[in-house]
């Protein structure tokens, strides 16, 4: 039987690439649910092509236009965040591809896990904000979490067949972003357009800025800590500008395994959907014959303080990673509006951690309250 998918965030980069895979393997995947935040036009086009059982538009103001466009079909149309969370637990779904951006993905993730769904996870914030809670639900409901991030997918692949006691450390690789090699003074006057010009990956604006600040690597350290149940001091970052080695695992005997492939997010998406099997990927058949060299550098946490703050938030624990994430979202949004500088993002996150990081937050309600409090605090800051 084909695997029945709910693609949450189908109009974003990961969502669209997941649908690319569905086009390549129509006999293996059927699309049961599509959701989008506000891109009603693309959601309508996707729905007409894939004929899902239901679609959900997060923006309630767009409900009428989506409903009218699909009126002559059998597709059910819903709206709002609550409907997205409910769709994640739909009984007609086997696998939930969570490609939503931000903390809005947390409640759908919890809904999917409680319903025993396989969760193919591309949303960093779910594990950053609520890693302990989410991984506990995964175990309790026998609902596997399969990472879509290329780095975590690489680690998962390297760990196949290995004992957890044989792991010495995990090594996450980073492209270095557009400002690789910059020192702190050089980062003072970088522009928004420079920050959005990623040298390797084509991604949405939010994650592209997180790559430029290395905050995405900080988030990935937190994710890896929960996905693979390993302490943060055993997770290293190496800058690897070619983005061919997506991550590595070092074992107690000194051996290192690495997963290599050309940069293409469809590969980790396909692996997440078909694990533990592998399928032929038409977009990767060229191999690595044209790769001349692979280089590595240490990450500079003095210039890129976001990475250092991420490690610190893990050490503090409790609600600190939630504060880190919320403050970063506000900072990135302001930077995208050109209202604060590149270093201003670092300063905002740092001030939020100093003010709120020691707040204990254990339940989903407490985390959401802390998230809201952090956002309010950051918006009140001046002269960042």
Claim to verify: residue 139 and residue 48 sit in the same structural domain: yes
CB 369 within 8 A of CB 363: no
Q: Please check whether residue 348 is in contact with residue 384, taking contact to mean a CB–CB distance below 8 angstroms.
A: yes
Domain of 162, in residue numbers? 152-264+292-301
- pLDDT tens digits along 60-105: 999 999 999 999 999 999 999 999 999 999 999 999 999 998 889 9
Q: pLDDT tens digit string along 334-376?
A: 999 999 999 999 999 999 999 998 888 778 899 999 999 999 9
pLDDT of amino acid 286: 66
Judge whether residue 293 has pLDDT over 80: yes
Q: Are residues 63 and 139 in the same domain?
A: yes
Task: Please identify, among 242, 275, 301, the residue that sits at the C-terminal boundary of a domain.
Answer: 301
Chosen domain end from 147, 174, 207? 147
Any domain includes 197: yes
> Within 13 A of 209's CA, how many CA atoms are on the CB side?
22
Torsion angle, alpha carbons of 89, 92, 97, 98, to 10: -20
Residues 14 and 142 placed together within one structural domain of the fold:
yes
Same domain assignment for residues 139 and 15: yes
Same domain (yes/no): 165, 85: no
Element spanning 292, H or E: none
Query: Quick one: 130 and 200 in the same domain?
Result: no
How far apart (Å, rounded) are the C-alpha atoms in residues 247 and 172? 5
0.75 exceeded by the pTM? yes
Of residues 224 and 177, more confidence is placed in 224
Give whole-number Cα distances, 301 to 184, 233, 242, 309, in Å.
Answer: 10, 15, 20, 9
SS3 of residue 121 by DSSP: strand
Q: How far apart are CA 261 and CA 288, in angstroms?
A: 7
Q: Which residue is listed with tokens 């890896």?
A: 224
CATH code (residue 64): 3.40.50.720
Tell me the average pLDDT of the chain.
Answer: 94
Phi, psi of 4 (to 5 degrees): -95, 120
């Amino acid at each position: 039987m084909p695997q029945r998918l709910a693609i949450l965030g189908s109009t974003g980069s990961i969502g669209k690439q997941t649908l690319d895979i569905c086009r390549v393997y129509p006999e293996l995947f059927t699309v049961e649910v599509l959701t989008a935040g506000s891109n009603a036009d693309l959601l309508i086009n996707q729905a007409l092509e894939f004929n899902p059982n239901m679609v959900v538009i997060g923006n309630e103001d767009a409900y009428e236009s989506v409903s009218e466009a699909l009126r002559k079909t059998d597709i059910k149309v819903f709206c709002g965040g609550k409907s997205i969370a409910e769709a994640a637990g739909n009984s007609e779904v086997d696998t939930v591809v969570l490609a939503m951006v931000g903390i809005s993905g947390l409640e759908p993730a919890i809904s999917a896990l409680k319903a025993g769904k396989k969760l193919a996870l591309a949303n960093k914030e779910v594990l950053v904000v609520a890693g302990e809670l989410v991984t506990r639900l995964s175990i309790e409901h026998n609902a596997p979490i399969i990472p879509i991030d290329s780095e975590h997918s690489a680690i998962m692949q390297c760990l196949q067949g290995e004992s957890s006691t044989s792991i010495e450390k995990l090594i996450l690789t980073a492209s270095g972003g557009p400002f690789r090699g910059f020192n702190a003074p050089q980062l003072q006057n970088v522009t928004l357009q420079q920050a959005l010009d990623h040298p390797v990956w084509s991604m949405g604006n939010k994650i592209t800025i997180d790559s430029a600040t290395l905050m995405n690597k900080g988030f990935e350290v937190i994710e890896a800590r929960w996905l693979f149940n390993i302490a943060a001091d055993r997770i290293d970052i190496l800058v690897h500008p070619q983005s061919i080695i997506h991550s590595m695992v070092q074992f107690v005997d000194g051996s290192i395994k690495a997963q290599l492939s050309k940069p293409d997010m469809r590969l980790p998406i396909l692996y997440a959907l078909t694990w533990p099997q592998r399928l032929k990927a038409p977009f990767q058949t060229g191999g690595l014959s044209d790769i001349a060299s692979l280089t590595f550098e240490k990450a500079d946490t003095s210039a890129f303080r976001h990475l250092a703050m991420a490690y610190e938030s893990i050490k503090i624990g409790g609600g600190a990673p939630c504060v880190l994430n919320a403050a970063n979202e506000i900072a990135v949004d302001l930077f995208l509006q050109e209202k604060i500088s590149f270093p201003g993002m670092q300063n905002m996150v740092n001030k939020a951690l100093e003010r709120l990081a020691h707040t204990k937050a254990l339940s989903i309600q407490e985390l959401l309250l802390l998230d809201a409090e952090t956002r309010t605090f950051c918006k009140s800051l001046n002269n960042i």
